[in-house]
Structure 1
Amino acid sequence: MERKALKIRERGIIIGSIPTGENNCLIDVPGVRVGHKTIDEKTETGYACTGVTAILPHGGNLFKEKVVATSYVINGFGKTTGLVQVNELGQIESPIMLTNTFSVPAVTQGTLQYMLQENKDIGDTTGTINIVTGECNDGLLNSIREMVITPKDTIEAILNASTNPVEEGAVGAGKGMVCFGYKGGIGTSSRKLSVNDGRFFHVGCLVLSNFGGKPEFPFNRYFKNNLHYPLELDKAADGSIIIVLATDAPLSDRQLHRVAKRCGIGLGRTGSHYSHGSGDIVIAFSTANTIKHKQSSYLHTMKTLREDHSIMNELFAAAAEVTEEAIMNSLSQAETTVGRNETVVHSLFDLA
């Protein structure tokens, strides 16, 4: 009998104490859109078990209306594009793209083609554009050397982006990913913070989970009845995770960087110790203030939170909670997957 994919809360495991957003996913941050392109097929010499995931900070023109952003490298064994400029300028001006390691060039090219089509002035009457792409290595299940992902697949993922609840598990960039020796991939979660003036701020997280070995996973933390202990524990493994954090709280890029650091707490709670060969990277943005590509004034004014207000600590706590829950949702939603060389990676919940 086929198992129904469930969020971790639907399995009775509650993470943290802050209320979730309406959908408990990244799109609870107003305006954020997510799209996938999944590839699951035989090739001439192997098997394609991979994909692309696109995160759009808002539904407008991302180049003309940039968002405040930052990145934080927990462990730098990763291959990304665009993060040097993100941290220098504190802005993101493109979709945030996720894929496998060897497809970073093709996905970057596809995203660039899409943005050039949307903005005829880029590279002509105005400057160039900074494309942000992150990756994890799905080579256990995917014939990664074949580099099957094309720029066309990338554009399709962007065009698929919507404000609908995010599909999770073995989809998009998460199709071939493995987490703690079980099937990982895309996971997401959100929190809703109440401010004393009656307003609410949202914090959302989407992860591409592909890290850790079975010995690192804290089974007792999540499963009190011990039914989920594996009969054999594999050795610890390297791997990676890309954490995309979004909020509508009005933060400067420096404040956002402080919040992004707390994602490492949530990652650590799941058992990760940031292994040598793991690319653990946070990409964070705030939708509260946009920066116009062109404006006549030499001044730019925006509101930001006071850092001595209690809401900052709540944002820190929310970042940790959504990261942990997003990782657990990636495990909870991912179904057992067969990839190249008939390799099978089981869902964590096949043990139930």
Structure 2
Amino acid sequence: MNRVRIRDLGISIGRYKTGQYNAITDISGVMVGHTTLSYKGAENRMIQTGVTAILPHSGSLFQEKVMGSSYVINGFGKTVGTIQLQELGVIESPILLTNTLSVPAVMEGTIRYLLDQNSQIGDTSGTVNVIVGECNDGYLNDIRGLHVRPEHAYQAIQFAKSGKVEEGCVGAGTGMSCLGFKGGIGTSSRVASFGEQSYTIGALVVSNFGEEKDLRIPAGGRLHRAGEEEEMPDGSIMIILATDAPLNERQLGRLAKRATFGLSRTGSYAAHGSGDIVIAFSTAHRVPHEPDQGTIPYSFMREDGKWISQLFEMTVEAVEEAIWNSICMATTTEGNKGRVREAIPYHILFEPTCKGGMLT
């Protein structure tokens, strides 16, 4: 059976409508690209890993930055670039996602891409802040082999496109596990009217958290199956949020916090070793690298009404559905050391378990 998204199974998350692609690329200008590494290497080691790139727009991000923020749900992670993001409130590079030990290689590849695009970086205008996030795919991937190289990051950026987004076992999601099943890349979006305007929220995740016992079934309750579950590392998740709503960096920080609730609805409790990081940006304004005036006028959404709360709810729904899409679209994957991570059987999404007449 071909893998499908959770909405294709007849399960709708929340009350807001989705965008055209039900993806982060429903925000105009946003593009996503993957480089996937899936093969058997030396000494029968399985390489199941990759890189995913998210571009806020198709122009020069260094010259025309977007406003952004980040939020740490649980800080057991190795994300780079978020310190400057929080200090200055702008994103000036593609956002790259990969496995934990490949962050340095991906950072180098992204820097090389930006150097090729901007001759003044490191010369006449200082350096550039690259943002790279990660999850640990070492259960299925030969993570010690350091198979992701700088050119794979470069390629993921070059492969980035708008429209439909590949999900499941692709890019940074190739070797990930989630809630006892195969995880990976997932995305979703929400659209709503705000007066005479319409704004969109998009989410993209790399899901790699939780055990089967944690999974909250959309039909209600938790899954309880016979047999002992294999003990897994706590895992992690990277959540990228995009919007075309005119939000400043402080408001984007508030938006990023709300991703926590979408994550928790699927069963996560941000375990000790789970690195749960959110990065949010708005495409509504461009921030020039070299302004030609002393002040730059911007307008932002008001916060004393229901609009900002509406965006918060849209964010929660998009994150929850993106996580489910990452699981539903993933295929059974053979990993390193003979390990196998099974795709989720769709039927269990409709069958909450009852014990002693009580829904659990």
Are the aligned partners of 2:213 and 2:224 in contact in 1 as well (CA < 8 Å)? no
Of the three residues 12, 26, 46, the one matched with 2:24 is 26
For residue 357 of structure 2, what is the aligned residue in structure 1?
none
CA deviations on 1:85-125 (whole Å, 9 max, x unpaired) are 00000000000000000000000000000000000000101
Of the three residues 250, 258, 263, the one matched with 1:262 is 258
For residue 8 of structure 1, what is the aligned residue in structure 2?
6
Gapped runs of 5+ residues in structure 2?
349-360
Q: Secondary structure at the match of 2:42?
A: coil
1:3-82 superposed matches below 5 A: 3-45=1-43, 46-82=45-81
TM superposition score normalised by structure 1: 0.96
Task: For 1:71, give the aligned amino acid.
Answer: S
Task: For 2:26, give the aligned amino acid.
Answer: D
For residue 330 of structure 1, what is the aligned residue in structure 2?
326
For residue 204 of structure 2, what is the aligned residue in structure 1?
206
Q: Secondary structure at the match of 1:244?
A: strand
Gapped runs of 5+ residues in structure 1?
none
CA deviations on 1:314-346 (whole Å, 9 max, x unpaired) are 101011111100000000100111111221100
Change (3 A) 1:255 1:350: closer
Query: Does 1:230 find its partner at 2:230?
Result: no
Deviation at 1:230, TM superposition (A): 3.3
CA deviations on 1:199-255 (whole Å, 9 max, x unpaired) are 210000000000001111123x4368x9x7533352575010000000000001001
Are the aligned partners of 1:202 and 1:249 in contact in 2 as well (CA < 8 Å)? yes
CA deviations on 1:27-80 (whole Å, 9 max, x unpaired) are 001100000000001111311100000000000000000000000000000001
Are the aligned partners of 1:97 and 1:133 in contact in 2 as well (CA < 8 Å)? yes
Equivalent pairs: percent with the same residue? 50
For residue 89 of structure 1, what is the aligned residue in structure 2?
88
Task: For 2:214, give the aligned amino acid.
Answer: E
For residue 287 of structure 1, what is the aligned residue in structure 2?
283
Deviation at 1:350, TM superposition (A): 6.4
Query: Does 1:182 find its partner at 2:178?
Result: no
Q: Distance in 1 between matches of 2:284 and 2:249?
A: 12
Q: Distance in 2 between matches of 1:70 and 1:250?
A: 14
For residue 320 of structure 1, what is the aligned residue in structure 2?
316
TM superposition score normalised by structure 2: 0.94
Are the aligned partners of 2:182 and 2:330 in contact in 1 as well (CA < 8 Å)? yes
CA deviations on 1:242-288 (whole Å, 9 max, x unpaired) are 00000000001001111111000000000100000000000000000
Q: Secondary structure at the match of 2:345?
A: helix
For residue 168 of structure 1, what is the aligned residue in structure 2?
167
4+ residue segments displaced more than 4 Å: none
For residue 249 of structure 2, what is the aligned residue in structure 1?
253
Q: Distance in 2 between matches of 1:231 and 1:28?
A: 41
Are the aligned partners of 2:258 and 2:316 in contact in 1 as well (CA < 8 Å)? yes
Q: Secondary structure at the match of 1:41?
A: strand
Are the aligned partners of 2:92 and 2:129 in contact in 1 as well (CA < 8 Å)? yes
Task: For 2:192, give the aligned amino acid.
Answer: L
For residue 123 of structure 2, what is the aligned residue in structure 1?
124
Deviation at 1:301, TM superposition (A): 1.0
Change (3 A) 1:223 1:171: farther
Q: Distance in 1 between matches of 2:228 and 2:205?
A: 25
Of the three residues 281, 300, 306, the one matched with 1:310 is 306
Are the aligned partners of 1:215 and 1:236 in contact in 2 as well (CA < 8 Å)? no
Are the aligned partners of 1:245 and 1:285 in contact in 2 as well (CA < 8 Å)? yes
Are the aligned partners of 1:216 and 1:236 in contact in 2 as well (CA < 8 Å)? no
Q: Distance in 2 between matches of 1:18 and 1:164?
A: 20
Q: Distance in 1 between matches of 2:275 and 2:151?
A: 26
Q: Distance in 1 between matches of 2:133 and 2:68?
A: 15
Q: Distance in 2 between matches of 1:18 and 1:257?
A: 22
Task: For 2:129, give the aligned amino acid.
Answer: N
Are the aligned partners of 1:266 and 1:324 in contact in 2 as well (CA < 8 Å)? yes
Are the aligned partners of 2:285 and 2:298 in contact in 1 as well (CA < 8 Å)? yes
